[in-house]
Chains A and B, each alone.
Chain A
């Protein structure tokens, strides 16, 4: 009996493997959901490695504003991830915005667009604001935020634009820089 079942098992395994590959390829949702969850976590985990200019946030009582502009790919995932998290003494709140304004007072601003032109327009709108702008998968350098998520080797990684950080008045920890896929150095 065992002798007869071996080829059968091998066939079954092959079938299963083929099936799973097929599911992976057809449903971008699966791995994409995991990547989103990771990105959502990253968004609030950046803050210990970033130093904002002294005048922001305005007062300790103010919450740490994590703003999402444009398309919100995270939904509840980010709300759950951020729940109970603090940036220092500040509670982290997720703020969803449809338009970009310097008066938004965001510490972290996730630009929810895959379009480089849109991203660049938003960035221009808040140019000089002490905000950590995070873009997602933008290929064009000039349109990337301070941090730009990329997926590399099936893992969510990020690029850092030190020049942009400098323009925003932010200082990025070398620890974070060492984790970046690439760093666009400060000129």
Chain B
């Protein structure tokens, strides 16, 4: 295509070239006619000259022997040639010896006064000496018509016709070429447009393929989430039973009259059981986190404090080979996120960093206040411009290739050996940051190391509210005037919950599904709090039940509980404003505090 401009120029120039050729042809035709006429004239002259010489040679004897009769016969013989106007023989002295004239009006001259050859208009006159033994014994006079005008015009017409035809042919070719060139240009434009459309189409197809891949990925994650969430939910119900039983066992056991040794053993065994159940609960939380179904419990976080608090944990995790450096910005803004998840995220990044530095190295954790501006944000999806708290985790490890970098956030993607990584580390970090309304960015260079930057939105709300962990004061207790409706489809869980609430002093009614619960609410307007599981059978889920109940009793308080959060109550990983939730499994203490919190109208 690069050579095309020249070709295109040649095509474009073709009509001009054709016109030039046509003009040249006409000029050439005129020149040919002119030259042909001249050449014809010259040839005719030569012919007449030769004819004169022949005649001269023929008549020499008759002239020699003064045979006028014979001579007259010779010259008369020439009248057979229609071009001969005059033919005459003169003696050496120039006197007319014998002559023939086609027209009586133009006879041969009586005396010969001219010599040589001459062309006068359409007549050629030649005077040739008659030689005998090297001596001139007389002269031959010949006057010939060069060419009849008619014939000459016919000749000119033929040449003119041929020239015109050639010119017309060339002209027509030129015009056709010009039209062809225009058509070609139009075709070129069309094909260009088609190519553009094709490119756009290919791009769209590519984008669609990407989107489909992303959708498939999302669907896969959704499926895994459902699976994991389901398992975790069942586990949580079981753990709830175990933990509730243990906590009641522990409380009631204090009242049993046991030998001191037996009492000690009893306490140790219960503690061990509680500890195991707690660990099991932590595992289910992790499962939910992997599935990104873990409801975030965002609180006001001082990231500097959090990082400092992790130093011991990090040191132990990374080992002696890796040095740790923390660069904490002064006056760091607070952020609003789930502290446990942030800790998990930093730990995950630290573990990845350690694995990238098998021969040791340095891990740097840096915090800073940053501003993501419009320009930067425009290139990224789902990020709002504004102020962010940045946490950067940098290692001096092996770094990542571009391919690895592109897949780094994908769930189950790992470069570690089998059994050494789940491939969920960075995925969890990513999920957490995105759920927290933040942004994550990886910078990596092979052989130089990797920096992962987490951007969490700045919390601009004033200090105070729920800023500190609740003080471990005596558990808030209820009164029999405070009536609570417990809605739970799992009988055992419902039984333990009811038992715990009654122990806390509340008056409790219970229902196994939404319809029953609504009837109870109607029957007893004194009920102050609806404590319901989110997942309920029988057509009404927890959220719908709460909505219906609030319609009937707008002053009713609602506390949800769930093994995992569901879209019904969680939007974007956060609880709806005004929705209180206690995750399963919950302890006696957390339940006491949460119930009191909700009843007294406090918000998280």
Which residues in A have some Cβ–Cβ distance to B below 8 Å?
38, 42, 45, 48-49, 86-88, 173, 175-176, 178-179
Question: For residue A158, which residue of chain B has the nearest CB?
Answer: B65
Check if A175 sits within 8 Å of B60, measured CB to CB. Answer: yes
Question: For residue B65, which residue of chain A has the nearest CB?
Answer: A179
Interface string of B123-142 (1 = CB under 8 A from A): 00000000011000000000
Asked if B62 is an interface residue, CB under 8 A from chain A, the answer is yes
Check if B133 sits within 8 Å of A42, measured CB to CB. Answer: no
In addition to A48-B132, A48-B133, A178-B70, 19 A-B residue pairs with Cβ atoms within 8 Å of each other are A38-B66, A45-B65, A48-B60, A49-B61, A49-B64, A86-B133, A87-B133, A88-B133, A173-B61, A175-B58, A175-B61, A175-B62, A176-B61, A178-B61, A178-B62, A179-B61, A179-B62, A179-B65, A179-B67
> In the complex, which residues of chain A have a beta carbon less than 8 angstroms from the beta carbon of B58?
175
Interchain CA distance A121-B12 in the complex, whole Å:
102
Interface of B is mostly: helix
- Return the 4 tightest CB-CB contacts between A and B, nearest first: A175-B61, A48-B133, A179-B67, A45-B64
> In the complex, which residues of chain B have a beta carbon less than 8 angstroms from the beta carbon of A175?
58, 60-62
Q: How large is the interface on B (under 10, 10 to 19, 20 to 34, 35 or more residues)?
A: 10 to 19
Interchain CA distance A86-B65 in the complex, whole Å:
17
> In the complex, which residues of chain A have a beta carbon less than 8 angstroms from the beta carbon of B133?
48, 86-88
Interchain CA distance A178-B64 in the complex, whole Å:
13
Interchain CA distance A88-B132 in the complex, whole Å:
10
- Interchain nearest-CB distance for B92 vs A (Å): 13
Question: For residue A153, which residue of chain B has the nearest CB?
Answer: B69
Interchain CA distance A176-B65 in the complex, whole Å:
9
Taking CB atoms and an 8 Å cut-off, the chain B residues in 61-78 that contact chain A are: 61-62, 64-67, 70
Question: For residue B58, which residue of chain A has the nearest CB?
Answer: A175
15 contacts between A and B (CB under 8 A): A45-B64, A45-B65, A48-B60, A48-B133, A49-B61, A49-B64, A87-B133, A175-B60, A175-B61, A175-B62, A176-B61, A178-B61, A178-B62, A179-B61, A179-B62
Question: For residue B57, which residue of chain A has the nearest CB?
Answer: A175
Interchain CA distance A42-B65 in the complex, whole Å:
7
- Interchain nearest-CB distance for B270 vs A (Å): 165
- Interchain nearest-CB distance for B64 vs A (Å): 5
Interchain CA distance A86-B278 in the complex, whole Å:
163
Interchain CA distance A101-B67 in the complex, whole Å:
34
Interface string of B216-231 (1 = CB under 8 A from A): 0000000000000000
Interchain CA distance A82-B494 in the complex, whole Å:
176
Interchain CA distance A178-B74 in the complex, whole Å:
11
Question: For residue A86, which residue of chain B has the nearest CB?
Answer: B133
Question: For residue B64, which residue of chain A has the nearest CB?
Answer: A45
